[in-house]
Each structure stands twice: as C-alpha cells, then as structure tokens.
Structure 1
Amino acid sequence: MAASVSAKVPSRVQSNWSRRLSYVQDAALVCVSALFFYVHARHVIESHSVTNVFFAVEQGLLVGMFLMRRRSENTSTRPADWVVATIGGWLPLALRPHETGGSAELIGAGISMIGLTCVIVSFATLGKSFGVVAANRGLKVGGPYQFIRHPIYFSHATTMTGFVVANFWSYNVAILAIVTTFQVLRIAAEERVLVATSDYASYKERVRWRLVPGLY
C-alpha cells in the first residue's frame, strides 16, 4: 500500500508544478503582448502604414487562443521543452517595424495576409486544443491537418516571413532565423509527447509531412 501511494506522488507533484508554471506563463504572455500591441499600434498611428496589421492581428489571435486553450494533464515537464516553446512562441513578439519601402512592403503584406488566412482556417479546425508547451490536448486530423501535421506553425512562419520582407532589417532577419530553429525543435518535442500519449503514430503514417509537403 505504501509503495502504491509513493508511486503516485511524483505524478501529482509534476502536475501541480506544470499547472502553476502554466499560469505564470499566461500572466507573463499578457504583459509582453500588451507591450507588443502598444508598439505596433503606435507605429500605425504615427506612420499611417497598415503594412504590418496582418502580423499584429495574427499575434493577437495566437495570444487569444493560448489564453482560451483547453488545459492538459499530459503536458511535458522537461525544462528543455519549456525553453524551446517559450523562445519559439514568444520571440516573434520581439519583431519591430522597419519598413523596407517600395514593392517589398506590398509583397510582404500579401504574404502576411495569406499567412493570416491560413491561421484563421487552422484555428477553426483546432479549436481550444492549442498550446505553447508540448502537450496532448486531443488529436486533430481534419481540415488542413489532412495535408500537413502542423498547419499553424506553417501559417505562423508564413505571416512572420511576410513581416520580415516588409520590414527587412538584420535584427528582424536574426529573429526569424532563431524562431524558425526553435519551432523545428518545438515540433519534435510536441510529436514526442503525442506519440507517447495518443495514436499519433498512425496519423504520422497517413500524413507524412510536418510543414511543407515534399520538403519537411
């Protein structure tokens, strides 16, 4: 009996730790996002440019979905997964307006608009099964998930690429490169959890590509 009780303690402790850290993350994300929207809203007002509105709207949707997400008991407690998710999920908020000028702004805005449209479609399919840290919130296989396994990451990368094209600057390019690297690591962590806690392995056999068909 004693052995049975002690065996359950680590799981309960991990669950409580994960839940508390999740609430801290929620509060921090609200503060960071508020600063992000202030910077971009002020830029739109001062420059009268709406080039970056699509990216700002996408980030707002991401934050809203994150705060309304379904809580999961199968959230990874690996510190490395939390670091990867934090950098991959939050660092895009560090991107700053720096208009390139000319046709690059129109091209970038067009790419961001496509990315935002894909984000909305993906969110409509995913519902509240959205999160930052690797977790099992239910397996989705419909909509864009029939073609690639991580359509939201693809959509986010598209919107962010559009922003960088319209705001081409070494600082923004570096942020894009770092975020892309950590998003790939984030995908690996997420799939590790899903394979261990669902029938994700069979889903992987049906949908081969993670982000870009024929490439990755």
Structure 2
Amino acid sequence: MLTEDFFGRIAVISVFTFLAVCTVVPLFLYFQHDTSASTLAIVTQLASTVLLLLQLFMTISRLPAQGTAKGIEPRVTSVVGTFLILVAMILTRPVDNGSVQVAALCAILIGTTASSFCLYWLGRSFSIMATARRLVTTGPYSIVRHPLYICEAVLVAGMVISHFSALMAALGILQFSLQYRRARHEEATLRRTFPEYDEYARRVPMLIPRFFPARRAATSQDS
C-alpha cells in the first residue's frame, strides 16, 4: 500500500536530484571552460554537491517513520523553511563586491561542510518533514539537539550576505523563524514517539551549547 511517506520520499528525491544536477553542471563548466573561477568558489560548489548527494542518499535509504507531526502547518513550515532561501537567491541579484562574495563563500563553505558532517551522523533518520525515525543522541547531537539547523543557519547567512538586500535580509529572518518552528514540531513528535526523549532534552540544550558543563555541575554541588 502506497503511503504518505512514500509519496513524500519520491517528491524529496526528485527535488534533491534536480538541485544536485544544478550544482554539478557549473563544476563541469569550471573545469572545462571557466578558468577565472576562484579555488574557493570551486571548493564551495563541490561541498554543496556533496551535501545534496548526501541528502539524496539519506532520503532514499531512510528508515520507516515511527511518528510524524499531524496537520498541514508542520508540513508547510518544513518545506518553506528548507527551500525558501534557494528561491530567494534566484529572485535577487548577488552583491557586486569581491570582498563580500569571499566572506559569503567562506560562510557557505563552513555551513555546508558542517551540515554534511551532521547529516552523515544523523544518517537514515534524516527527513524534511517533522518525522521520528530513530533517536540520535551521540556525536554532534550530544552537544545540542539540533546541530544540523545551526550549521544550516551559517549556510543561509552566507547566502544572505552574497545576495544582500532588504528583501534578502527579511527572507533570511523568515527562514530562521521557520526553521525554529520546524525544530519545535520535531521535538513534539520525538517526545510522543520516544519516551527517553525527555531525559535527553534535560541533558542536552536545544541550540546553544553549554560550555564548561563540569564547572557548572561542580558549582551547583558546592552551593
């Protein structure tokens, strides 16, 4: 029986395949024709291709859903929060300043590389929608509960810088807001699905890492 998860997977696979092709084509142009492209631009493009291919692979091989958010709003939030900034880049012009573009590429490269690491660690639990597949609490997920969103925020910041305008800044803020809302939907779904999630949430902060946790614990005990 065909399920909503099946159709969702087909749709996501189609989108990621299209985006991956769109990143691979410029790479061929860089190597075959465009000798003016900087090394930073080429490396950033390669990192983006790796991230998209990893997203594609994890979507194809993802685990069955054990729980999912109900209603249309979590789904709209997830889709718009994922792809809004890409559409915004198509509709806006890049800043005509070399230094700004270098800064933007650095942010995009850092965000993309870190996102790939978090996605690799998340593995077959990856999903665009607020869906519970498996509870991952190790690696970067032992530092904060949503490391992938933090890394993606750095990536989005680089895109906003690259095409900076009042419209792009507003859309960037909207994207961050949607991603935060998306994270809340995910947490509610994970709590309903995995009884151990509450304990995990008590130990691990949502977005901002706890620096020097041992020192805090010692201070609490002394008092």
TM-score, with structure 1 as normaliser:
0.76
Task: List per-residue Cα deviations over 1:125-182 (Å, max 9, x = no partner).
Answer: 1111100111111111111111110011111111111122233233432332221111
Query: 1:6 — aligned with what?
Result: none
* 2:37 corresponds to 1:48: yes
Identity %: 24
Query: 1:133 — aligned with what?
Result: 129
The one-letter code of the counterpart of 1:53 is Q
Q: Check whether the contact 1:55–1:116 (CA below 8 A) recurs between aligned residues.
A: yes
Out of 198-207 and 64-73, give the one that drifted further.
Answer: 64-73
Distance 1:178 1:36 in 2: 25
Query: 2:113 — aligned with what?
Result: 117
* Shift of residue 23, structure 1, vs aligned partner: 4.1
Distance 1:42 1:92 in 2: 25
The one-letter code of the counterpart of 1:70 is L
* Shift of residue 16, structure 1, vs aligned partner: 5.8
* Shift of residue 89, structure 1, vs aligned partner: 1.6
Q: Check whether the contact 1:100–1:165 (CA below 8 A) recurs between aligned residues.
A: no
Distance 1:62 1:93 in 2: 16
Query: Against the structure 1 CA distance between its residues 197 and 137, is the aligned structure 2 distance closer, same or farther, given a 3 Å change threshold?
Result: same
Cα RMSD, aligned residues only: 3.0
Query: 1:5 — aligned with what?
Result: none
Where 1:128 maps in the other structure, the secondary structure is: helix
* Shift of residue 113, structure 1, vs aligned partner: 1.8
Query: Against the structure 1 CA distance between its residues 33 and 147, is the aligned structure 2 distance closer, same or farther, given a 3 Å change threshold?
Result: same
Specify every segment of 5 or more residues in structure 2 that has no aligned partner in the other structure, as ranges. Answer: 211-223
The one-letter code of the counterpart of 2:197 is Y
The one-letter code of the counterpart of 2:137 is V
Distance 2:27 2:64 in 1: 31
Q: Check whether the contact 1:109–1:162 (CA below 8 A) recurs between aligned residues.
A: yes
Specify every segment of 5 or more residues in structure 1 that has no aligned partner in the other structure, as ranges. Answer: 1-14
* 2:45 corresponds to 1:22: no
* 2:54 corresponds to 1:71: no
Task: List per-residue Cα deviations over 1:98-126 (Å, max 9, x = no partner).
Answer: 14413222222222222122112212211
* 2:202 corresponds to 1:205: yes
Decide which of 80, 83, 103 is 2:73's aligned counterpart. 80
Where 1:211 maps in the other structure, the secondary structure is: coil
Equivalenced residues, count: 199
Out of 16-25 and 27-36, give the one that drifted further.
Answer: 27-36
